[in-house]
Amino acid sequence: KETYLFKKGDNLFNYHRAKESAKKSKSLIIVEGQMDAIRVSSSGFENVVALMGTALTKEQIELIKKLHVKVLLNLDSDSAGEHADLLNGDLLIKANLPVQVVTLSDAKDPDEYILKFGPEAYKKNLNNAVDYFDFKMLVQKKGINPNNSEEIATYINSLLEDLNNVSDSI
């Protein structure tokens, strides 16, 4: 519960334990729930934190920036989790952080995935994380009728807008 002493937006669950491991591995896994963080951490991936809500705050992003690591978003596998990946990915990109997205199939979240398939299968998913912009393009492409030029133009304009936010000179 949030109080005047404890503000969810100022903290990431498990940050105090994850920060040294994140620096060593050069990556930080962000999951949605505290049970996900506990399962992932107890399975040998100590560089994991959980959101304290659905969207990262500027204070939480500042904590992440201090680590100088790549961020691996591994939120729930439902449409709400996909939406949260997009929301948080955009926030992290605007903060000039490298972001990849980890998708898990046949499970609703990392906790369930590790219970079903084990830590080695989870590690394979971490190693196959996709660049945030590739993930975003795939999500935005869903439901577009390839025979509708207006839908295609809207999709392309959205991609161009996202590319304008990239700080790469190319």
Tens-digit pLDDT string for the chain (170 aa)? 777 776 777 789 999 999 999 999 999 999 999 999 999 999 999 999 999 877 899 999 999 999 999 999 999 999 999 999 999 999 999 999 999 999 999 999 999 999 999 999 999 999 999 999 999 999 988 888 888 999 899 888 888 887 776 666 66
Sign of CA dihedral 160, 152, 100, 16: positive
**In terms of Cα–Cα distance, which of 98, 89, 95 is closest to 138?**
89
Note the pLDDT of residue 170.
66
For helices 132-141 and 149-164, give the axis angle rounded to 10 degrees: 160
Angstrom distance (rounded) from CA 159 to CA 165? 10
Q: Read off the tokens for 53.
A: 């809500």
Tell me the C-alpha to C-alpha distance, in Å, between residue 121 and each of 25, 38, 44, 72, 102. 18, 17, 13, 16, 12
The residue ranges of DSSP E strands in the chain, in sequence order, are 27-31, 48-50, 70-74, 99-101, 130-131
* Structure-block tokens of residue 147: 């025979």
